[in-house]
């Protein structure tokens, strides 16, 4: 059992995305906190692997991004669930924090 | 891609625990939102299976529970990571919402 505190990783990098691996030593999932300054984009990407991921907005607002220019407005409390092989990304409108869980870890 | 809104499942049952399965059709993980009224206990339990889970407090405060009477005070923004076979539970001090991710799903 281990407890992580999201308040401990509330750090932003000017004009960029800051990344904190909470869980990266598990064979079952990976949990990562990304903090995006307002205006920053986590580009649309995908991996040709079996698996799913969730992207939970834990602070701020922005857009979930998908294939072909899809943009879904999103804010704190929203959770995107996607296959790993499905294109996905995020753009921050305000300073924005997301929690990403990937199973199995990649 | 599917988006869930945690504000849509903010319902409490008097003296009990209310459960919303966000993702239960995936072979990779299961995501469940439990809402516990103040004072309610999600009893310590475990399953003899390989896998891990996370329990994220998304509202309120209470305690993470473990084997042998272990109690860890916790509040919004905390995430417990545990093996599925390790005894784990939760007790709500205030009305409390948690998000549980189990990989692989059980």
**Full-model pTM:** 0.97
Option in A28, A56, A66 nearest B103 (CB): A28
Residue B5's pLDDT is 98
Q: Phi first, then psi: give them for residue A76, nearest 5 degrees.
A: -45, 130
pLDDT in tens, B23-36: 999 999 999 999 99
State the number of CA atoms in the 13 A half-sphere of A67 facing the CB. Answer: 8
B42 contacts B34 by C-beta, under 8 angstroms = yes
Domain that holds residue B61: 6-103
Mean pLDDT (whole number) for A43-50: 97
C-alpha to C-alpha distance for B49 and B106, rounded to whole angstroms: 9
Residue ranges of chain A whose CB lies within 8 Å of a chain B CB = 1-7, 22-23, 26, 28-29, 31, 50-52, 54, 56, 58, 64, 66, 72, 74, 77-82, 86, 88, 99, 101, 103-104
How many domains, in total, are found in chain A?
A: 1
For range A41-46, the mean pLDDT: 97
Q: Are B102 and B22 in contact (CB under 8 A)?
A: no
Q: Is residue B27 part of a domain?
A: yes
- Whichever domain contains A67, its CATH number is 2.60.120.10
Cα dihedral: A39, B4, A78, A17 (round 10): -50
> Does B1 map to a domain?
no
Residue ranges for chain B with pLDDT beneath 50: none
In a domain, A47, yes or no: yes
Give the count of Cβ contacts less than 8 A between chain A and B.
107
Distance CA A71, CA A68 (A): 9
Nearest in space to A92 (alpha carbons), one of A70, A69, A60: A60
């Amino acid at each position: 059992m281990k407890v992580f505190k999201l308040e401990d990783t509330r750090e932003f990098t000017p004009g960029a995305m800051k990344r904190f691996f909470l869980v990266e030593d598990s064979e079952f999932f990976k949990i990562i906190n990304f903090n995006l300054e307002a205006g920053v984009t986590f580009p649309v990407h995908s991996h040709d692997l079996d698996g799913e991921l969730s992207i939970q907005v834990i602070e701020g607002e922005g857009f979930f991004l998908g294939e072909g220019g899809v943009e879904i407005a999103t804010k704190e409390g929203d959770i995107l669930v996607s296959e790993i092989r499905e294109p996905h990304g995020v753009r921050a409108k305000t300073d924005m924090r997301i929690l990403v869980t990937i199973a199995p870890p990649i």
